[in-house]
Amino acid sequence: MRDNQRRTVWDVLTAAGMALFLLNSIVFILLGRFNADEGWYLYASKLVYEGQRPYQDFLFTQPPLLPYIYGLIQHFLLQSIYMGRVTSVVFSVSAFLLSIKIAIQYGGKVAGGITSLLGGTFLFGIYYQSITKTYALTTFFFLLAFFLLASSSGREIRIILSTLFVLLAALTRLPAILFAVPFLLYAFFVSRIRVKILLGALCLLACLWLFFLALPNPYAELWDIYLNFLFQWGNISVVERLLRIMKISIPNLIVQFPCYFLLAGILIILSAQRLNNALRAYWAVFITAAGLFLFGVINLINGGYLVEYDIPLLFVSFPIMGIAFARLFPAIEKRSRFVLQLAVVAAVAMGLLRSRLYYYDLSGGQLPIEKIRKVAAVVMENSTPSDPVFSLEALPVAVEAYRPVLPNMAQGQFSFLNVDTATANALHAINGDIALRYIATGEPKLILLTDVDWNLLRSSPDYQAIVAALAQNYCLIYREDHFGQLDDEVEVYLRRANP
């Protein structure tokens, strides 16, 4: 009877975690603070289904897969920031259910309950997997590969499919290449020769796609997906970079999520004596854990490292923690059980409190995306669908208004680089000189400028000439406060009748 009651309790906790995850995901679709990256991911998704290619035709600072997947939904259903978020939530919920399934397979209902509670209360991660960024898709591919590797039937097909999904993860977010390494090593080690050939063909196809997109300008692709992140270190030595990682990046990650690392640390300590037996019984778990470790290490090499980069790492670690908890708890002494239970409670509480309401946008009595659509309505009223728009940070307005932006502006504010004009054109970006030419010739029907954009333009030696050309050829017709990710101001300028 008591065992049945315990199973019922864990069923309830699993359901509660699932309900929290789904509820918060829906809330973040509607109330999640707008992120500037959403605009350029969705605009890139639009461009690929208009026949353009990343790196060849427009700047895109990630591997190429995401716009082809998100663009498919946008192309056949609806081009909208809302639709982008709905797509992300479909992937994140699917990944969450997979994580619970994996946990139950290895650790029973206790593991499923722990996994569900950790994931359902991780508001920081749920937010970033509910908006249009790479995290939901990357986590989905990670967990698909983990699920297939952990499955008990059809080993060869599982190996082939898990290899496919880790490659797709790497084609979504570059650091996932390191996550793929343990999977690929295992797959090539245990497979028969014909499967090895097929696996090699899959790897070759992924490389060939990247090679094809790199032509005829390999530097553009190299800059987009690697060099621009590396250059964010600035001119400091390798030793200085390592010191910054050790003194700033790693401590910041731990400080942001101390209870998750505390729980993981306790589980590692308690399982140390049982490691040999666990390696044989849970080899798929250890392969995934090794991939997550490598993924975390490569993230730290990014000069502009942000804690959000490790959201896939944390989410995929939850079923591993759940499995370890379920297997260790009956075998440890009472005092250790209490410590372990306390660590789980602390992790769940921290996940709920971590957002501090920052990721909910409740300002102005209006949904955050409705603010974007309000400005988009002004753009639509004053232009036709073929009229190009000059838009940097306000790129999502062009997405909602179904308007094209000028050439080389597909990455929003990230499209503006203080480089010479030849380099800017080669990278499919703009600089002050190109911006001045656009404005001086009156090429865009409308110009949208935010505080972020003005700061970018001020950094250019062409700033004064840009201001003069704007005053001569355009008139301010609309201004909106509390706009975008940084809650700044956006101005809409309309081309004069006779510029």
Report pLDDT digits (tens) over 432-453. Answer: 999 999 999 999 999 999 999 9
**Region 111-130: what's the mean pLDDT?**
95
In a domain, 358, yes or no: no
Whether the predicted pLDDT of 26 surpasses 80:
yes
Predicted confidence (pLDDT) at residue 289 exceeds the cutoff of 50: yes
Residues 250 and 370 reside in one and the same domain: no
Same domain, 109 and 14: yes
As a whole-number percent, the residues of the chain with pLDDT over 70 amount to: 95
From residue 368, how far is each of 44, 81, 298, 363, 414 by CA, in Å? 21, 11, 33, 8, 22
- Evaluate whether residue 30 is within a structural domain: yes
The reply to whether 50 falls in a domain is yes
Same structural domain, 128 and 249:
yes
For residue 18 the two structure tokens come to: 């699932």
Q: Are residues 340 and 195 in the same domain?
A: yes
Residue 3 scores a pLDDT above 60: no
Statement to judge: residues 62 and 158 lie in one domain? yes
Among 327, 353, 379, residue at a domain's last position: 353
| Residue ranges in 223-282 assigned as alpha helix (H) | 228-230, 238-244, 250-256, 258-271, 275-281
User: What CA–CA distance (Å, rounded) separates 113 from 475?
Assistant: 59
Whether residue 337 is found in the same domain as residue 380: no
253 and 312 in one domain? yes
Mark whether 369 and 341 lie in a shared domain. Answer: no
Of 353, 381, 401, which residue constitutes the final position of a domain? 353
pLDDT reported for residue 151? 81
Q: Does residue 190 share a domain with residue 266?
A: yes
Tell me: do 346 and 382 sit in the same domain: no
Is the confidence at residue 495, as pLDDT, over 70? Answer: yes
Q: What's this model's pTM, rounded to 2 decimal places?
A: 0.93
Total domains present in the chain:
2
Q: Residues of the chain with pLDDT > 90: what percent?
A: 67
Region 344-352 average pLDDT:
90
Look at residue 125 and tell me if it is in a domain. Answer: yes
* Three-state SS at 446: strand
> Are 385 and 403 contacting, i.e. CB atoms less than 8 angstroms apart?
yes
Question: Which pLDDT belongs to residue 1?
Answer: 47
What is the bridge-based pairing of β-strands 389-391 and 474-483?
Answer: unpaired
Residue at a domain's end among 312, 331, 353: 353
- pLDDT at position 10 over 90: no
Within 13 Å of residue 141, how many CA atoms lie on the same side as its CB? 24
pLDDT at 297: 93
- The pLDDT tens digits of the residues spanning 66-97 come to 999 999 988 888 889 999 999 999 999 999 99
Assess whether pLDDT exceeds 60 at residue 117. Answer: yes
Would you say residue 411 has pLDDT above 50?
A: yes
- Mean pLDDT value across the chain: 90
- The whole domain housing 116 covers 2-353
Q: 122-126, 267-271, 275-279, 302-306 — which is least confidently predicted?
A: 275-279
Question: Is the same domain home to 93 and 66?
Answer: yes
* In a shared domain, residues 317 and 372: no
Mean pLDDT throughout 272-296?
A: 83
Q: Is 427 inside any structural domain? A: yes
